[in-house]
Amino acid sequence: MDAQRRVLKDGAVLIKDGSIVQVGKSAEVKRQGRAEFEIDAKGKVVLPGLIDTHIHLAQALIRGCADDTSLIDWLQKFVWPLQGNFDSEDGKVSAELCMLEMIESGTTTFLESLLHSRYGFDGIAETIERSGMRGILSKTVMGLPGYGSEKSIMHLGMIEDAETCLREVETYFKRWNGRADDRIKVWYGARSLGGCTPELYAQIARNAKRLGTGVTMHLSEVEDDVRYTKKEFGKMPAEFMDQVGLVGPNVVFAHGVWLTENEWRLLASKGASVAHCPSSNMKLASGIAKVPEMMSAGVNVSIGCDGGPSNNSYDMIREMKTASLLQKARTMNPLSMNAETVLEMATLNGAKALGLHDQIGSIEPGKRADVIVVTMQKPHLIPTFNPVSHIAYAALGSDVDTTIIDGKIVMENRHVTTLDERSIIENASERATKLLERAEIKITPRWIMQ
Ligand SMILES: [Zn+2]
């Protein structure tokens, strides 16, 4: 993933003090002398760590708890009541589960988009510190209990007031931004349209500028977003966001399914990014984002897995395949989005979206050592003529066997060294059962479970 997009056969990567210092043919790199520690990657592919630019950490615990249902029911009957019953221990366990899954499938950096206070910000930030991951936590800011045209529909447990939200972001920013060797960042997580007044969006934009930090929010995910901003403000969603000052290089909009050509040009001219979430858009039947067209208009588009009830996995390797195939089917053009493009979206474009392109997104000297090793020694990956094709179309997250973040090995031979997999799986199953009881929600599969 360097500027020339070289694919090095029999290559080696030399890492020192958390940074990549040399990349080249093995023989060349070995001239530096023996390394203190070597990983044999024979028959494997070494890639930059994957960057997931739209996730909900607190939704890992409610994976599979809202399937095959319309969006408003999905939110009102399942997701919000469940999340509205979270306590900070649920938030921590869900984050642990999610980070475990990400590390095991090669994601090294993520952007969490909406952390409500009840999930326990500190516990989640501590989990990033412990897991060794690189993560941006966006604390929710909201002022209205609505969702698009639907007024006052939010679950009581999810409602927060604007002043407290704004104060909390600053508190958490001071406490956590730059912590854990700069692996943790704190952003503003503006609630979706209908969740903030125009004044509040403008306030978020001003505050983010003052702190020098980022903002993320869901935008034009569903067609109702367009109806809502047109009726309320006489503008398209991105035009409205621009009017309140929330379109800039420090902003990541999730989804962007219903954005139009003018809006693409607007986002491109202001340097804002879009996190494309193909599985979520398909599962919730939100529509299909016109990603190749958006990218041709100059928008930086990255990839996001979204959440446990909308995807229902946090596996970026699977998501790359979905992203590519979805465009081919929509455009009926197999050239519309190729393997190389989706790999760029999952690495370099992600780094750019997060303002971290000087540090991560490629394997180049001077960058932080966020590197994954993916085995090709599996029946479904043989023969291996083009590794980029295999990563995009044939590999699975479980083919990642080593994950290195900031120069530290956090998974080796599929064993995660920073988190205790067994206890996390046990805790998460237990807490999810209790959460469902508290929220009085029953998952009733259509087929009888005996
Ligand atoms: Zn989302």
CA of 277 to the centre of ligand 1 (A): 8
CA of 288 to the centre of ligand 1 (A): 15
| Residue 2's pLDDT band (cuts 50, 70, 90) | confident
CA of 41 to the centre of ligand 1 (A): 35
- Render pLDDT for 333-366 as a digit per residue (tens, 0 to 9): 999 999 999 999 999 999 999 999 999 999 999 9
Edge to edge, the sheet with strand 50-55 lists 50-55, 107-115, 134-141, 184-190, 215-219, 251-255, 273-276, 300-303
CA of 293 to the centre of ligand 1 (A): 22
Cβ(159)–Cβ(126) below 8 Å: no
CA of 380 to the centre of ligand 1 (A): 31
CA of 21 to the centre of ligand 1 (A): 36
CA of 65 to the centre of ligand 1 (A): 15
CA of 433 to the centre of ligand 1 (A): 23
pLDDT > 90 in the chain, percent = 96
CA of 55 to the centre of ligand 1 (A): 6
Mean pLDDT, rounded, for 130-139: 98
Distance between CA atoms of residues 180 and 314, nearest Å: 23
Q: How many CB atoms lie within 10 A of CB 248?
A: 17
Average pLDDT, the chain: 97
Report the Cα 206 to chain-centroid distance in Å: 24
CA of 235 to the centre of ligand 1 (A): 23
Distance between CA atoms of residues 300 and 272, nearest Å: 7
Report the Cα 141 to chain-centroid distance in Å: 19
| Residue 3's pLDDT band (cuts 50, 70, 90) | confident
CA of 351 to the centre of ligand 1 (A): 19
Mean pLDDT, rounded, for 277-286: 97
Residue 26 CB burial class (10 angstroms; 0-12, 13-18, ≥19):
middle
Is residue 33 over pLDDT 90?
Answer: no
Mean pLDDT, rounded, for 209-234: 97
Mean pLDDT, rounded, for 266-278: 98
CA of 197 to the centre of ligand 1 (A): 20
Q: What tokens does 227 get?
A: 């109806």
